């Protein structure tokens, strides 16, 4: 039975609000998802928003698969992957790999990417947001043991929230 999860680019908030991540001005993976070794995943939805206070050059935003090349990230914890189905299994049982080269956020190294599959690319103003829901039956499929990333390149650093909803 398919299960839905949402993964944000930061740890699960508790007594404080979700912490946004700075984009910087070089290419940066804000969120990376690595599914278990037996799982394909459907991308149901993804989104990103920025906290810029003035209109400026749009930020390049990408949702892509980078094959078996992974960024070095802050590893997510199980509490940071939200089960959207009440009967969904613990995300760390077999659905997600939670390591510094698996599911995580705020990349410190991008890796040497040689091939990608682009699922969506947008230019989004630093004062704006973007949300994409894929039509039912036409969702991109993330391959087993590959890297799904939300990646940005900004002209000037701003903070961002992003997320992906994945069905496994």
Ranges of each domain in the chain: 4-167
Tell me which residue of 122, 124, 105 sits closest to 52, measured CA to CA.
124
pLDDT in tens, 19-70: 999 998 999 999 999 998 878 999 999 999 999 999 899 999 999 999 889 9
Average pLDDT over residues 88-115: 89
User: Of all residues in the chain, what percent carry a pLDDT higher than 90?
Assistant: 75
pLDDT at residue number 38: 79
Mean of all residue pLDDT scores within the chain: 93
pLDDT in tens, 133-157: 999 999 999 998 899 999 999 999 9
Tell me which residue of 36, 117, 116 sits closest to 81, measured CA to CA.
36
């Amino acid at each position: 039975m398919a299960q839905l999860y949402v993964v944000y680019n930061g740890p699960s908030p508790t007594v404080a609000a979700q912490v946004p991540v700075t984009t910087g001005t070089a290419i940066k993976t804000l969120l990376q998802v690595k599914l278990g070794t037996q799982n394909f995943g459907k991308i149901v939805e993804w989104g990103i928003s920025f906290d810029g206070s003035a209109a400026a050059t749009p930020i390049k935003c990408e949702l892509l698969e980078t094959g078996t090349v992974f960024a070095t990230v802050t590893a997510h914890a199980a509490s940071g992957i939200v089960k959207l189905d009440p009967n969904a299994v613990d995300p760390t049982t077999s659905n997600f790999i939670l390591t510094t080269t698996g599911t995580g956020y705020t990349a410190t190294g991008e890796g040497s990417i040689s091939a990608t599959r682009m699922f969506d690319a947008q230019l989004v103003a630093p004062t704006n947001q973007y949300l994409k829901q894929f039509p039912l039956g036409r969702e991109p499929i993330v391959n087993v043991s590959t890297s799904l990333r939300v990646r940005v390149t900004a002209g000037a650093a701003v903070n961002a929230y992003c997320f992906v909803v994945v069905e496994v």
